[in-house]
Structure 1
Amino acid sequence: MSTDIHGGIEFRHPGVGTDYYEGEPWVGAMDLWPLYDETDYAAFGCLFGVRNYAGYPPLAAERGLPSDLSSALREQLQPWVADGHLAGATWVSWA
């Protein structure tokens, strides 16, 4: 059985914390699937500790879903997490 990554890229809206912006802090930009065309276990292991055959200390393993995840991405991913079909839910930021 192969392993794949599901998720999306979000950005923090520049208006968060101002009096003119009333939306969610995080806004979905795109799904992850167009960014890679095949399974890459070396990247999965290094970033998330999934199929970590090289034994790298993972950058962002087992963090769960972010508490301030956009409602659109949460709606997409939460059922998989709840049903146990999305193992190793985590996130990583540019920082």
Structure 2
Amino acid sequence: MGIDLNGFVECRWDRRLDEDDRTWHGAINHAHLYDGRSYLAFGSLFGVRDTDTFRPLADHRGLPADVSPETLADMQPWGRDAPEASWITWAELPATDWDEVAEHANGP
């Protein structure tokens, strides 16, 4: 059986538009950003499926307390305690060593 990732790219306005509004908003469902499954990417980012190749960047962090309403609605079937729930910030992505050598070689 295959596995897919559910979730949103979220954003919030940290500018001076409204100092009191720090809520997250679902900007785009990430299913629109990729075509198909990449277990290598799923494992590298979130520790889902391919966990033998790279150390996951954001392994099973759960949902943040201030997650957007769009993400909560998308997670409705599983709720806040979804077993594989995680997240990663935009700041963490460019700080990643994309030249990291795999811990184990997978595949034929």
- TM-score class, shorter-chain normalisation, is 0.7 to 0.9
Matches within 5 A, 1:22-33: 23=21, 25-33=23-31
2-side partners of 1:66 and 1:88: how far apart?
13
1:26 offset after TM fit, Å?
0.9
Bigger share in helix: 1
1:76 maps to: 74
After the TM superposition, which segments of 4 or more aligned residues of structure 1 sit over 3 Å from their partners?
Answer: 18-24
Report if the CA contact (8 A) 1:64-1:91 is conserved: yes
Percent identical among aligned pairs is 37
Structure 2: segments with no counterpart, 5+ residues: 92-108
Any conservation in 2 of the 1:13–1:27 contact (CA below 8 Å)?
Answer: no
Question: Distance between the aligned counterparts of 2:18 and 2:84, measured in 1?
Answer: 37
Alignment partner for residue 35 of structure 1, among 33, 36, 55? 33
The corresponding residue for 1:11 is 11
Q: 1:87 to 1:12 in 2, by over 3 A?
A: same
Q: Which residue of 2 aligns with 1:94?
A: 90
Matched residues in 1 for 2:73 and 2:21: separation?
17
- 2:58 aligned partner, one-letter code: A
Which sections of structure 1, spanning at least 5 residues, go unmatched?
A: none
CA-based RMSD of the aligned residues comes to 2.3
User: TM-score, normalised on structure 2?
Assistant: 0.70
Contact kept in structure 2, 1:24 and 1:70, CA below 8 Å = no
Is contact 2:8-2:70 (8 Å) kept? Answer: no
Normalising to structure 1: TM-score of the pair?
0.79
The structure number with the bigger radius of gyration is: 2
